[in-house]
Amino acid sequence: MDKIIVTGGKPLNGEIVISGAKNACLTLMPAALLTDEPLTLTNAPRLSDIATMTDLLRSLGCEVAALQSGRVLALGAETIASTRADYEIVRKMRASILVLGPLLAREGHAEVSLPGGCAIGARPVDLHLRGLEALGAELDLRDGYVHAKAPGGLKGAVFELPFASVGATENMLMAATLAKGTTVLKNPAREPEIVDLARCLRAMGAQIEGEGTGEITIQGVERLHGATHRVVADRIELGTYMLAPAIAGGRVELIGGERALLGAFCDKLEEADIAVEETARGLAVSRRNGVIRPLHVVTEPYPGFPTDLQAQMMALLSLGSGESVLEERIFENRFMHAPELLRMGARIDVHGGTARVTGVDTLRGAPVMATDLRASVSLILAGLAAEGETTVSRVYHLDRGYERLEDKLSACGAQVERVKG
């Protein structure tokens, strides 16, 4: 099993190109099931999760070709060979549930295994199911599978989400494009990945208005056609690499970064006295005066502070000048990185959904273990500033969401090495 070894104490200087968004691409790929014409996605990231979604789509009869070294994905579902998404594939990744809406909308029936993914809380799919039921789907959960059918086709409806679930919004948005009549989603998720999906679906002929606001309206159409769409930049990768020079020192320019993708996060960085500068090619980040001010961070749905950057921010605040508070309001069990940071000398006290972080002058390198995707990269970030050597094991989590991380950081002067296991 691969490990990553980080030798700390080296400031970072240079530039990092931000890849296409994993979470956006994983949503866009199932959209290919909505049409019998080709869908081409450019600026695709090369990640293990993308490979898993590729395997799942191929099992359903969708052709997937990776072109230009994987940067372009050509998808074609001229026919649907199977409407069963098997457990052996779905268990690897929660985003697999996103084939349910498209299959149901196009074929009128589907069997999709309940999904797996990072162990960061229950993250139930009940809201996906309630939304599809509102569109007329008949659902039966048995033997670990969602058995769904809509014999007369899906029908438009008004559905208010009790909370702004990203996945449920995506599943309903795709399903509603082929439903009869008008669908109104109230209190939908507003993330840039939702906006990106709506733009892609619109390019395929869908009639959608209001993405990125508190209400999305979808007028169903009889069929969608092919399109070419560029995947939006990965805002979580962007935020992660913005934190690298904040933690290690130096100045790094993030090519393709946009403040609009991470407004609340950028505000918190500046509150901590980290400089965030808009450039002609993206964003540049540096520490202003060597002191990291303490923060109170609360994770919230977009446009609030992203839960997917909470672990990385904890690594930064471990080196802060006082006590910081992080409140996790999206997922339970998402402080599993805290015990590993403690091994590196951090001072963290966790009670329920709140972590109190008292900054220390120095972290120390140590052997640590990644527990989930974002936790894994938080340990690498901490290692950039730690004295000595940090060895991060179980980095298969990392490969689900970060493309060539060691190469990108090394190009800016970090000493980061992958050791094959």
What's the pLDDT tens digit per position in 1-43?
A: 899 999 999 999 999 999 999 999 999 999 999 999 999 999 9
| Terminal Cα distance for the chain, rounded | 4
- Identify any residues that bridge with 74 across adjacent strands, giving them in sequence order: 40, 65
pLDDT band, very low/low/confident/very high, at 120 (cuts 50, 70, 90): very low
Compute the mean pLDDT over every residue in the chain, rounded to the nearest whole number: 95
Determine whether the annotation assigns residue 230 to a binding site: no
Does the pLDDT value for residue 419 go beyond 60? yes
Q: Which CATH class is domain 22-230?
A: alpha beta
The CA distance from 196 to 187, in Å, is: 18
What's the pLDDT tens digit per position in 322-377?
A: 999 999 998 877 899 999 999 999 999 999 999 999 999 999 999 999 888 888 99
Determine whether the annotation assigns residue 400 to a binding site: no
Active site residues: 118
Q: Are the C-beta atoms of 89 and 96 separated by less than 8 Å?
A: yes
Determine whether the annotation assigns residue 22 to a binding site: yes
- Lateral strand order in the sheet of 109-113: 84-85, 109-113, 145-149, 138-142
Mean pLDDT of 174-181: 98
The CA distance from 254 to 337, in Å, is: 25
Mean pLDDT of 317-326: 98
DSSP 19: P
pLDDT band, very low/low/confident/very high, at 116 (cuts 50, 70, 90): low
Residue 9 in 3-state DSSP?
coil
CATH superfamily of 3-19+233-419: Enolpyruvate transferase domain (3.65.10.10)
Minimal CA–CA distance to 307: which of 328, 326, 325, 335? 328
Determine whether the annotation assigns residue 372 to a binding site: no
Tokens linked to 410:
């090394």
The CA distance from 177 to 101, in Å, is: 10
Q: Longest Cα pair distance anywhere in the chain, in angstroms?
A: 65
Determine whether the annotation assigns residue 234 to a binding site: no
Task: Name which residue leads in pLDDT, 285 or 371.
Answer: 285
Determine whether the annotation assigns residue 49 to a binding site: no
- Identify any residues that bridge with 216 across adjacent strands, giving them in sequence order: 185
Determine whether the annotation assigns residue 330 to a binding site: yes
Residue with tokens 């508190």: 214
For the chain, domain boundaries? 3-19+233-419, 22-230
> Do the two domains 3-19+233-419 and 22-230 of this chain adopt the same fold?
yes
Determine whether the annotation assigns residue 127 to a binding site: yes
Does the pLDDT value for residue 85 go beyond 60? yes
State the pLDDT at residue 374.
86
What's the pLDDT tens digit per position in 397-416?
A: 898 889 999 999 999 999 99
Residue 354 phi, psi dihedral angles, 5° rounding:
-125, 135
The CA distance from 124 to 148, in Å, is: 17
State the pLDDT at residue 124.
66
State the pLDDT at residue 165.
92
Range of lowest pLDDT (65-69, 113-117, 146-150): 113-117
Does the pLDDT value for residue 302 go beyond 80? yes
Determine whether the annotation assigns residue 125 to a binding site: yes
Determine whether the annotation assigns residue 36 to a binding site: no
Does the pLDDT value for residue 135 go beyond 50? yes
The CA distance from 161 to 164, in Å, is: 6
